[in-house]
Structure 1
Amino acid sequence: MANAGAGSGGSARDDAPRRVRRRLAGGWAAVWLAAAALVTVPTVSGAAPQQASTAGARPAAPAGAPDQAPLQPPSAEGDCDTRVSPDPESGSQNGAAVKRIKERGELIAGVAQNSKLWSHRNAKGDLEGFDIDLVKQLADALLGDSEAVEFRTVPIDRRQQALEHGEVDVLVQAMPITCRSLEGTPEEPAVDFSSPYFETGQRVLVPQNSDISGFNRTLKGKTVCTAYGSTGYELLSGDGQEKYGAWMRARPGALDCLMLLQLSRVDAVLTDSGLAAGLADQEDGTRLAGPQIGKDSYGVAVKHGTDDLLRVVNATLEKAGKSAWQKSYDRWLKDRLGPADPPAPQYG
């Protein structure tokens, strides 16, 4: 939703899934947002839970055009090789980072709690989804107990800081592996990633009755929402505007965009296919349109330099690829995205 990816932070407990899945009118949307502050999962220190924007009235825009976000600033992606994760057999799996987790007796995992199918609250208030299954596999590998986990919600704009400051051990948050995250920026410390655990690309989400058929000429004159700094942001500030005639409205995360779609303030949402599947599952009045565009990969993020922990993560992913990955995928994602196989290990 990496991205962008999905927003994390506060989300209303899913006590009434039928109600949550119903298409929201403007008044109920405001109630839904207000409820987001009532959850009990801890957030990382000093971080406020992220909430979807109420959108309000549109600011002024050029005549005949929706409010267009500024063009994407120069990309920080560069041409780096993202396949730099260590092979599990290349060194120690019991260094300082792993020893700290074992001494604590608990894995602290940064997750989302409002990303349907990936990491969200069920009717009982428990976190569940594809990412949560993976966290439990990591806890079992590190501590011999899949329940030895403290989940902490981490807002998108503090994910890398949370790792750098030791507030979480791992981030399992449908986070795309990017050069920007690997190299860091003045605002975001560099992090390291595991081998990919999920492959994805960009997908368009639209209302059921929309005439948009994908990322193509049917976007002409339409307003499309995407997350700031995401792959979708780059597409819409380049070819999407010039080639397809789409207008962009950018927001902090995919959930903010979903809210604008629910309120009919935008015509479509562009986000990665994994998060788009979760949004479509959350909102009955929507569908995925057209094929996937491009290719991205999700990885487990850890603090830069903690190779011992990465080796454990990669060994766990290799083991999961033999059966657990497929079982989790079939449960959470197959109905929306169709059949898939686990990504092959990629080490550098």
Structure 2
Amino acid sequence: MAGGWAAAWLAAASLVAVAAVSGAAPQREPAAGAPSAAQAGLPAQAPGQATPAGEDCDLQVSPDPETGSQNGPAVQEIKDRGRLIAGVAQNSYLWSHRDAEGELKGFDIDLVKLLAGALLGDPGAVEFRTVPIDRRQQALAEGEVDVLVQAMPITCQALQGTPEEPAVDFSSPYFETGQLVLVPEHSDITGFNDTLKGKTVCTAYGSSGYELLSGAGQEEHGAWMRGRTNALDCLMLLQLSRADAVLTDSGLAAGMAAQEDGTRLVGQQVGEVSYGIAVKDGSDDLLRVVNAALEEARGGAWQESYDRWLKDWLGAAQPPSPQYG
């Protein structure tokens, strides 16, 4: 994808207020000859969940849908309103992006529609709102959205909160991923290894990639790290030749490779992290509905969506098993 379109998408991502999604960005189909999983150097199966580096809390704390109410105040508010308000991205290709007609499409969007169907009996009963990464937890805490479906990693920091970011709760994992390297097509970098020596590698602040490139990781591979607010900012630096590689979640890296001609994914996934659907802290009734919907999706809807959006780039995978606290 031309750098101009990427710049437009990045501008949308930098908004500082939650608002109803508006405007359009063109859709790109995966380039002809999209690499297979083997060509991309990816494992045939997504890895299992593990606590990310530096985390020491229990990440498996989501409530079992069979252990309590699925019709408490959080669920009732959505039913009374008659629509689900979902916080999403609009610039994350394959996950949540706008097509040529201005419609939101992608793996995360399919999940939102699935949730609306479970809560309201109508997959179309959704109000989508774009939420910048630095306001995701605030948007939930302040009731601006009911759920966040935005390829958001389940982390101790998000579960526990910080002085700047309120705590949130997560569903059982709906996607499992690891860090992966994206490079220009003719790069001599072959993965997260010694071929990074002397290279500038961009990653998002606070991400698993940031931890991998810090301290011992930087000493081991000799890469120069350049941090940015989000991974799409790193893609811009790669386009401008101000970075030699991007290190980010494999799912997001796949979207970048699909939208940006002249790039490719290299090496094996490093580390393990799970994406979850986030809700306001204490909304156990809503989480039970979400988890029940995810369980049902494992019977076919998850696989159909994955095969449509991600299989060509990440290879074959199956939905994560339920994980409850």
- How would you bin the TM-score normalised by the shorter chain? 0.7 to 0.9
Determine if the alignment matches structure 1 residue 206 to structure 2 residue 183.
yes
Match of 2:102 among 122, 125, 150: 125
**Cα distance change of structure 1 residues 220 and 76 upon mapping to structure 2, 3 Å threshold:** closer
Name the TM-score, length of structure 1 as normaliser.
Answer: 0.81
Distance 2:6 2:210 in 1: 26
Match of 1:150 among 127, 136, 139: 127
Determine if the alignment matches structure 1 residue 287 to structure 2 residue 264.
yes
RMSD over aligned Cα atoms:
2.1
Q: Could you say what secondary structure the match of 2:271 adopts?
A: strand
Question: Does the Cα contact within 8 Å between 2:184 and 2:263 map onto a contact in 1?
Answer: yes
Q: Name the residue aligned to 1:275.
A: 252
Distance 1:231 1:336 in 2: 21
Distance 2:105 2:313 in 1: 17
Q: Name the residue aligned to 2:77.
A: 100
**Cα distance change of structure 1 residues 116 and 38 upon mapping to structure 2, 3 Å threshold:** closer
Residues 170-319 of structure 1 mapped to structure 2, 5 A cutoff? 170-319=147-296
Question: Does the Cα contact within 8 Å between 1:116 and 1:279 map onto a contact in 2?
Answer: yes
Distance 2:18 2:282 in 1: 21
Query: How many correspondences in the alignment?
Result: 294
Unaligned runs of 5+ in 1: 1-20, 50-74
**Cα distance change of structure 1 residues 267 and 79 upon mapping to structure 2, 3 Å threshold:** same
**Cα displacement (A) at 1:42:** 11
Residues 40-119 of structure 1 mapped to structure 2, 5 A cutoff? 44=18, 78-119=55-96
CA distances 1:237-272 after superposition (whole Å, capped 9, x unpaired): 123310000000000011100000001011000001
Q: Give the partner amino acid of 1:44.
A: V
Residues 8-27 of structure 1 mapped to structure 2, 5 A cutoff? 21-22=1-2, 24=3
CA distances 1:22-64 after superposition (whole Å, capped 9, x unpaired): 4x3xxxx4x753576589x995169xx9xxxxxxxxxxxxxxx
Q: Name the residue aligned to 1:59.
A: none
Question: Does the Cα contact within 8 Å between 1:111 and 1:152 map onto a contact in 2?
Answer: yes
Match of 1:160 among 137, 142, 152: 137
Distance 2:272 2:78 in 1: 33
Q: Could you say what secondary structure the match of 1:243 adopts?
A: helix
Question: Does the Cα contact within 8 Å between 2:19 and 2:130 map onto a contact in 1?
Answer: no
CA distances 1:186-243 after superposition (whole Å, capped 9, x unpaired): 0000000000000000000000100000000000000000001111011111233100
Unaligned runs of 5+ in 2: 24-51
Q: Give the partner amino acid of 1:258.
A: L
Q: Name the residue aligned to 1:5.
A: none
CA distances 1:58-96 after superposition (whole Å, capped 9, x unpaired): xxxxxxxxxxxxxxxxx9954101000000001000000
**Cα displacement (A) at 1:284:** 1.2
Determine if the alignment matches structure 1 residue 324 to structure 2 residue 324.
no
**Cα displacement (A) at 1:332:** 0.1
What is the percent sequence identity of the aligned residues? 74
Distance 1:162 1:38 in 2: 17
Distance 1:303 1:206 in 2: 37
Q: Could you say what secondary structure the match of 1:289 adopts?
A: strand
CA distances 1:290-329 after superposition (whole Å, capped 9, x unpaired): 0000110000000000000000000000000000000000
Distance 1:37 1:177 in 2: 26
**Cα distance change of structure 1 residues 235 and 214 upon mapping to structure 2, 3 Å threshold:** same
Distance 2:305 2:182 in 1: 23
Q: Could you say what secondary structure the match of 2:255 adopts?
A: helix
| Runs of 4+ with deviation above 3 angstroms | 34-39, 75-78
Question: Does the Cα contact within 8 Å between 2:90 and 2:98 map onto a contact in 1?
Answer: yes
Distance 1:324 1:45 in 2: 29
Distance 2:260 2:191 in 1: 18
Question: Does the Cα contact within 8 Å between 2:55 and 2:155 map onto a contact in 1?
Answer: no
CA distances 1:161-182 after superposition (whole Å, capped 9, x unpaired): 0000000000000000000000
Distance 2:217 2:53 in 1: 20
